[in-house]
Structure formats: C-alpha cells, structure tokens
Structure 1
Amino acid sequence: MDLLLPSPPTPLQELHDQLFEKAAVRLFVKRDDLIHPEVSGNKWRKLKYVLQDVLACKKDTVLTFGGAYSNHLYALAAAGKELGLKTIGVVRGEKPAQESATLQFCRQKGMRLHFVSREEYRLRDSAEYLSALESRFGSPYIIPEGGTTTLALPGVAELVAEVEVQLPTSPVYYGVAAGTGGTTAGLLSAGANVVAFSALKGGDFLKADIMDLTRETAKTGTLDLQTGYHFGGYAKYNAELLDFIVDFKTRFGIQLEQLYTGKMFYGLFDMIGKGHFPEGSTIVAVHTGGLQGLLRN
C-alpha cells in the first residue's frame, strides 16, 4: 500500500457477548490493525500528512523520539524504508546489552539509533535541545514523540468519517488507548465523544496536552480520560491482563497486545460491566495496532 495515498476503509467488526446484552450497548471494533502490515493503526493515520510534509519540504532525513518498545519508532522506520527516507531514532535510556525486538526491527529498516539518558530525553521538547539535534544530524525533519502534531489530527479524523459511512447511526462513544494523546485529539477534532485510556501511570497530564492540540480545530467532541487502567505504568502488565488478552482472542478472534490495546479493551469491558454507558449506546473501540509489542516477550 502506498503510504501517501488514501487507505481503503478498515473493517468495522461488531462483538457479541452477554456483557453487552446485559448492559444494552453495542460494541464495534475499528480494525485499524489491518491498515498496513508494518505501519499499523493510529501510526499510519498520524504519519500520513506528516510524511507528505516531509517530502514537500524536500527533506531526506527524519528524526524522532521513542522508547525501546515504541510503536512510533517501529512505524517510522518502516515508513522511511518504504519512502526512501533516512531515519534517526532518539531512544530513551542507555544502550542495552540486548536490544528489544522493536529496536532490532528499526535497525533492519535502516534507522540510526541514538541512545540518550532519561534525563536528556526529558529535553525532547526543548527548542534549544532540538536546535542542537538539528546541528548534530544535518538539519533533519523532526517529528515529536508518538508522531503527535497538529498534522496528525486530520489523518486520525478520517477514521471518524469512515465509521460514519459504515454505521447507519453515528456511535455515541469512541474508545481508544492513549500514549501521547495525538489519536485522541484527532478523534475529538472530528467531533467524536472519546473515552481515552491512558497507558501511562499518572496520565492526568494528558488532558491538557490533548486540549492544547485541539485548541484551533473547528469542532471538538467530549473527552473522558480514564487513568486507572495502566496496570502499573507504561510497559507494565500482570497475569490478569495477559489472561484477558488470551481470552479476548479466543472469543473474538482479535489479537491485542499488553502495552496499549489490551489495557484499553480491559478498561472498556470493566466500564461496560459497571454500567458506565447509558443503555442504547453504540461504542466504537479503535484497534490501534502495535502488535509488534507482543515480541517483547
């Protein structure tokens, strides 16, 4: 698939379970995990217009940021290879003795990895630090962590337009996992009501970040930010979550991972069971892909 062309609409799959019948809600899964074999889910949508801007600016090198299991680094490395762009990943933390499968994939796709201390990584949004990186690496096009910029919003908003064609009536809520908040902001910019599940411990700060991204959009839906389903923080999980992921695949034939989508669906099921959503609600849960996260085991 050409990364710079519109993607065909991804499937919308309804899940059937006694839990939903009892709560009198309908739950659909937007299968964005099927959008591209390597640049999956929300990363494809967030990078679409950013990559067009890279080429319009006639840049041949892209630099971005992420951790050892970053879906964003993985996706950008694959996209860069496909588009003939050089890629540089500034990686949080000192170089490990054994690199994660995600970082190994990035190297295979030609990404240059630059490891920095966690203290230095915190400077990633500093104008002075970004200027120093530009000088060091020959003025690359710099994309923030997670690909979260205002250019990411229209690509994500297209998902809402697809769903409105696929469903006879608009969904009341969208459910989505949140890392940097860019996907949530994109859904909100299309007027969607979003229940976002932070994968980070102490993710309350995301609300201000998300609202800042949508400040200049024509319309904004409502945000319900859930911060209690992080299972200990980013890249943290337990046996209960892993059992849920296995059971989910057995029952519905859909693979999740433990960094983002597993936590989101676990939280969504828990909220449905507790009667959080009014009877008659239609919910669309966005499968944001990132299944390479399973490789970390």
Structure 2
Amino acid sequence: MDLINQKILLNLPDGIELFIKREDKLHPIVSGNKFRKLKYNIQEAKKLGHTTLLTFGGAFSNHILAVAGAGAEFGFKTIGVIRGEELASKVNQNPTLFKAKELGMDFYFVSRSVYQEKESESFVIELKDRFGDFYLIPEGGTNKFAIKGCEEILTEEDKQVFSHVVCAVGTGGTFSGLINSSNEKQQLIGFSSLKGAFLSDVIRNFAEKTNWEINDDYHFGGYGKVTDEFIHFLNSFYNQTNIPLDPVYTGKMVFGILEMIKNGYFAPKSKILMIHTGGLQGIKGMNFALQKKNKEIIQYDKD
C-alpha cells in the first residue's frame, strides 16, 4: 500500500522541501510501523499453525495495542505480558490496555525485575507452561519479519526523489528496514527516542548499508519524557499543518528535523522525507500524566 507524501507547508530556508509519509493512516488500530512489523509475522504465525500471539510491553505500548488489533482482525488469541504488577488493577483507567482488552487480549502482569528476563529461554519456557504454545513476537515487534515489512515503506519514487529519509527510532526495526531498501545515495537519519547512544550497535545487526546515522539529541530526557517546550511545539505544529504527531516518537523527530534545518545542517534544495510511524493512541495516556501535573496538554487528543 503506497501512501501520499504530504508536503509540510512551512517557510523553510534555502529551497529545502519537507514531506511526511502518513503511515499513521495505514490502519485505524494497527497503525504505522506496527502494521509493517506485524504483516509478515502474522503470515509466519499462520504458516506455522499457531493460533495464539504472545508479546511484551508497557502501560501505554503502541505495540501491545497493535498486536491486540491484529489478533482480533486475523483470528488469533493474544496475550500481553505487561511490565508492572500494579497495572493489573488499573486496566479500566488505562486507555491503551482497556482498548487491548476490548479487542480480546489477555494480560499477564509481571514485576519490572521479572520483565527484564523477557528474552531469556527460561522465562519463555515458563510462559509456555502457563499459556501453552504460542507465536512469540518480541517487545516492539522487531525481528527479521518486521524488518522485511518495513523494507516496503519506501516506494521506488521515494528512493529517487528524496535526498534524505528520516525516522524515529525505538527498537531499530523500522529504521533498519528503511536503510536496507534505500538508495545508497540517500542519507538516512534516525532520531532516537531513548536516552543513551547504543542504538547504532543494534541497527548494525540488521542493516546492510552505511548511509545512515543516529541522532540522539532530541529525546527530551529519555523514552516517554517530554518538556513544556515540546508539548507547545506539538500543538503549534498541528495548528500550522493539521498533522497530529505522537509525543514519544514522531513528534521528537519532527522537532529535531526543524531544528537541524534552522541550524544549517542540510544542503540547499534538499528534499527530506519524514516517516510518520503512528502511535497517536498514546496521546491519551500522555495527556493523563500532563493533567495530573497541571501542564499544557496535547490539544488534538485522538479518539
């Protein structure tokens, strides 16, 4: 499915043109890069005869909701192993978990220390003893099937038209897929949503080219962290463009790109394509946290 690249009609210097690929419009629930990551995982699960999908995530995980939505649409039972035992009594107050539950997902709440063992063989064996056989999708969805799906984001025209392709980076799967499918003359920039310069090593495990870099200057304090300036930016950008951005991933990427343009990073007449990876469902959770602190909220709260 090819999406129209929407031009950002802002007053940019040096003839620079900025576009955004609205991957957030791919599916109402399995949004953006989650749609891409799950596409071939679903096919593999069916091929292997599985009827249950099991995955991992936190309180407001886009991935948890996407797996629940995919399971409901394609006839799989879904299980979410959720970080934080205290959330077991708060499902109805959590918009992400409540929607995943409505879509049929069962939850297994574990402590943060147990959650850290999610990739260990012994923990997976314990989960199979508890739930029976399942198709395991890692936290965030990144594996070889996810990367294969993300390699389909760029069209042939995208590879010829744009000098730069930029994307927010969490687990590295989407960015790796973009790198693999890119034109080697293009420059790819990944904006880390995490604090700490370790993503490059992760991406090298999946990416086949070297035409990329990771920028970790715009995480605003770490994963899921925001500032008053950043929230004000999200609202201002929406008022100017009518494009909603999520506060964890894409919003930070767009903030970073505009700052880099302002600081003269890009050559004149550069054509930059930003990838909107979805995640808008997380706005409700972010606004809940902001309201408790009497802070400005994101004005375009997604229904």
Fold shared, TM-score > 0.5 on shorter chain:
yes
The residue number in structure 2 matching 1:281 is 270
Name the CA shift for 1:271/1:57 in 2 (closer, same or farther; >3 Å): same
Are 1:248 and 2:237 counterparts? yes
The residue number in structure 1 matching 2:293 is none
Which whole-Å CA distance do the structure 2 matches of 1:224 and 1:93 have between them?
33
Are 1:260 and 2:249 counterparts? yes
1:190/1:221 contact within 8 Å kept: no
Question: How does 1:218-229 map onto structure 2 within 5 Å?
Answer: 219-229=208-218
Name the CA shift for 1:256/1:75 in 2 (closer, same or farther; >3 Å): same
Task: With the length of structure 1 as denominator, give the TM-score of the two structures.
Answer: 0.90
Are 1:211 and 2:200 counterparts? no
Name the CA shift for 1:171/1:241 in 2 (closer, same or farther; >3 Å): same
The residue number in structure 2 matching 1:76 is 67
Name the CA shift for 1:15/1:281 in 2 (closer, same or farther; >3 Å): same
Which whole-Å CA distance do the structure 2 matches of 1:129 and 1:210 have between them?
25
Give the % identical residues: 41
Task: With the length of structure 2 as denominator, give the TM-score of the two structures.
Answer: 0.88
Aligned to 1:241, the other structure's residue is in SS state helix
| Superposed CA offset, 1:68-107 (max 9, x none) | 1111011110010011100011111123343321111111
Shift of 1:113: 1.0
2:60/2:97 contact within 8 Å kept: yes
Which whole-Å CA distance do the structure 2 matches of 1:94 and 1:207 have between them?
32
Q: Aligned match of 1:156 in 146, 150, 159?
A: 150
The residue number in structure 2 matching 1:135 is 129
Which whole-Å CA distance do the structure 2 matches of 1:50 and 1:66 have between them?
17
The residue number in structure 2 matching 1:5 is none
Q: Aligned match of 1:94 in 82, 85, 89?
A: 85
Shift of 1:254: 0.4
Are 1:237 and 2:226 counterparts? yes
| Superposed CA offset, 1:256-295 (max 9, x none) | 1211111111111111111111222111000011110111
Shift of 1:131: 2.4
Which whole-Å CA distance do the structure 2 matches of 1:172 and 1:114 have between them?
45
The residue number in structure 2 matching 1:34 is 25
Question: How does 1:20-59 map onto structure 2 within 5 Å?
Answer: 20=12, 22-59=13-50
Shift of 1:14: 1.0
Shift of 1:174: 1.1
Which whole-Å CA distance do the structure 1 matches of 2:60 and 2:14 have between them?
36
The residue number in structure 1 matching 2:53 is 62
Q: Give RMSD over aligned pairs.
A: 1.5
Aligned to 1:53, the other structure's residue is in SS state helix
Aligned to 1:73, the other structure's residue is in SS state helix
Question: How does 1:177-216 map onto structure 2 within 5 Å?
Answer: 177-191=168-182, 193-202=187-196, 204-214=197-207
1:212 partner letter: N
**Runs of 4+ displaced beyond 3 Å:** none
Are 1:107 and 2:101 counterparts? yes
Q: Aligned match of 1:147 in 120, 141, 144?
A: 141
Shift of 1:221: 4.7
Aligned residues: 280
Shift of 1:245: 0.7
1:148/1:182 contact within 8 Å kept: yes
1:208 partner letter: D
2:159/2:182 contact within 8 Å kept: no
| Superposed CA offset, 1:111-139 (max 9, x none) | 11111111111111222222222222102
| Superposed CA offset, 1:47-71 (max 9, x none) | 1001100111110001001111111
- Which segments of 5 or more consecutive residues in structure 2 lack a partner in the other structure? 288-303
Which whole-Å CA distance do the structure 2 matches of 1:293 and 1:232 have between them?
18
